[in-house]
Amino acid sequence: MNMTPLSQNFRPLVSLSQRTPNNGPIVDETEIVEEVGQVKIELLPFFEQGPFVNIANDTKTDICHFLIIGDLLRFGQTSQHFNKVTQNALASRTTCIELPKLTDLALLNLGKVLCLHLLIHKVTDYEMASIGRLTGLNTLNLIQTHVTDAGLHYLAKLTKLKALNLGKTAVTDKGLIKLTSLNSLTSLCVEGRLFRSGSDNRMVGNDELPYLEKFTGLRTLNLSYTGVTDLGMKHLEKLFHLHTLDLVRTAVTAVGLESLKNLTDLHTLNLSETKVTDIGLQYLKNLTDLRILNLSKTDVTGAGLQSLENLIHIHTLDLSHTNMMEAGLQSLKNLIYIHTLDLSHSDVTDAGLQHLEKLTHLHFLVLGKTKVTGNVLKLLEKLPSLQAVNLYRTKVKRGDKQQLKELLPNLKIY
């Protein structure tokens, strides 16, 4: 959910650093509820250190409402009191409630709640029973919680649910079978975990994907860091409304991309760290609505870019960490609407960049750790829309950068 940007000038309702002698709140909760509807406020860092309920009103009012209720133990109240406070605040049209700390998931009476974010919290299968009673939910975020397959059956009655994030949980293929009744689902994330050691937790694999065929209305699907392979990709062939697909660090190869050739509604495709090669890019030729394409850390080369020549609506292209030579960049000249291009950590040289002259809408160009030199300045001068360029660890000298800054004073150089 996109919340209204918060005003920098605000009057906080109550500071958690201010306490009455008995360690109670400086104002009671009813005063907070009345006052919060009248001002725009910003959530301060000290609020983030303590438990609070964050309630955002209908975005059409252009006001973000935050209800600070404090620690349940400090109030010395039961979950009944918790419900009373939140119900008062929910008298208006409520679209979102966030609970960064859960001591008692007292949500049974919050029938108006549409969005629930419980990310990175110790929510377990036990609390899922309460969540399952929130029949009005359309968005549920459980990323990095302790939810397992056993807790998912409580979600079966949330027939209005449109967005579900189970990323980095212990949910497996078996658990997703229990979600097939969620016919309204348009967004699903089952992203796996990536640990600091570099290993990942691929709880979800090919066995899950047959159940995704039932979600014909899916528009967003995140399968990154899962065990999905080319075999599993076949189960995506009928998801014709798919708009965004993330396959980062999966075992998908060129063969698997054939399953995407008829998904012409795709706007965003993330293939970073997959085993995709030039051959696979030919299956993307029909995806003429594609706007964002990430091929970072794949085996794609300049030769494969010929398959992208007709994808003229692409505006963001990531070719970093690829074997990208200057001749291959010639295929980019037709992609005139590109505004973000990442060529970092590739073998691109000054000669190859000459093919970018026609990219007059280019705003951001990343050339860090490439073989470009000070001669690239002549090209950059010809890009009228360029706002920022990354020349980190290139052969462009400090004096060249200063010269470029004088010629293009509004250009940001990194």
Residue 307 CB contacts under 8 Å (≥ 6 apart), including other chains: 278, 281, 282, 284, 285
Mean pLDDT on 333-359: 93
Give the integer Cα–Cα distance in Å for 2 and 163. Answer: 14
The pLDDT tens digits for 164-206 are: 999 999 888 788 888 989 999 999 999 986 543 344 455 667 7
Mean pLDDT on 239-247: 97
The predicted pLDDT at position 193 comes to: 65
pLDDT above 70 as % of the chain: 68
pLDDT at 252 over 80: yes
Give the integer Cα–Cα distance in Å for 55 and 395. Answer: 51
Give the integer Cα–Cα distance in Å for 177 and 134. Answer: 21
What's this model's pTM, rounded to 2 decimal places? 0.77
The pLDDT tens digits for 258-268 are: 999 999 999 99
Give the integer Cα–Cα distance in Å for 113 and 98. Answer: 10
The predicted pLDDT at position 127 comes to: 77
Instruction: Tell me which of 378 and 200 has the higher pLDDT.
Output: 378
pLDDT at 235 over 70: yes
Query: What is the set of domains in the chain, with CATH numbers?
Result: 1-111 (no CATH), 112-413 (3.80.10.10)
| Least confidently predicted of 182-186, 197-201, 345-349, 379-383 | 197-201
Provide the pairing of β-strand 244-246 with 139-141: unpaired
pLDDT at 246 over 60: yes
Mean pLDDT on 307-314: 95
The pLDDT tens digits for 47-82 are: 232 333 333 333 332 222 223 222 222 222 333 433
DSSP string, 233-286: HGGGTT-TT--EEE-TT---BHHHHGGGTT-TT--EEE-TTSB--HHHHGGGTT
The predicted pLDDT at position 130 comes to: 77
Mean pLDDT of the chain: 74
Q: Which of the four pLDDT bands, split at 50, 70 and 90, describes residue 45?
A: very low
Strands (E), 83-141: 94-98, 115-117, 139-141
Rounded to whole angstroms, what are the CA distances from 391 to 73, 348, 388, 411?
Answer: 53, 12, 10, 12
The predicted pLDDT at position 190 comes to: 92
Residue 4 CB contacts under 8 Å (≥ 6 apart), including other chains: 56, 59, 62, 63, 64
pLDDT at 376 over 80: yes
Per DSSP, the chain holds a count of helices (H) and strands (E) of 13, 17
The predicted pLDDT at position 25 comes to: 31
C-beta separation of 160 from 184 below 8 A: yes
DSSP string, 33-54: HHHHTT------HHHHTS--BE
Instruction: Tell me which of 93 and 170 has the higher pLDDT.
Output: 170
Instruction: State phi, psi for 201 to the nearest 5 degrees.
Output: -110, 100
pLDDT at 162 over 80: yes
DSSP class of residue 85?
H
- Partners of 98 in the β-ladder: 54, 117
Mean pLDDT on 19-37: 30
The predicted pLDDT at position 143 comes to: 86
Residue 301 CB contacts under 8 Å (≥ 6 apart), including other chains: 278, 322, 323, 324, 325, 328
pLDDT at 278 over 60: yes
Residue keyed to tokens 């609505």: 289
Give the integer Cα–Cα distance in Å for 137 and 81. Answer: 22
pLDDT at 159 over 50: yes
| Other Cβ atoms within 10 Å of 152 Cβ, number | 24
The predicted pLDDT at position 113 comes to: 62
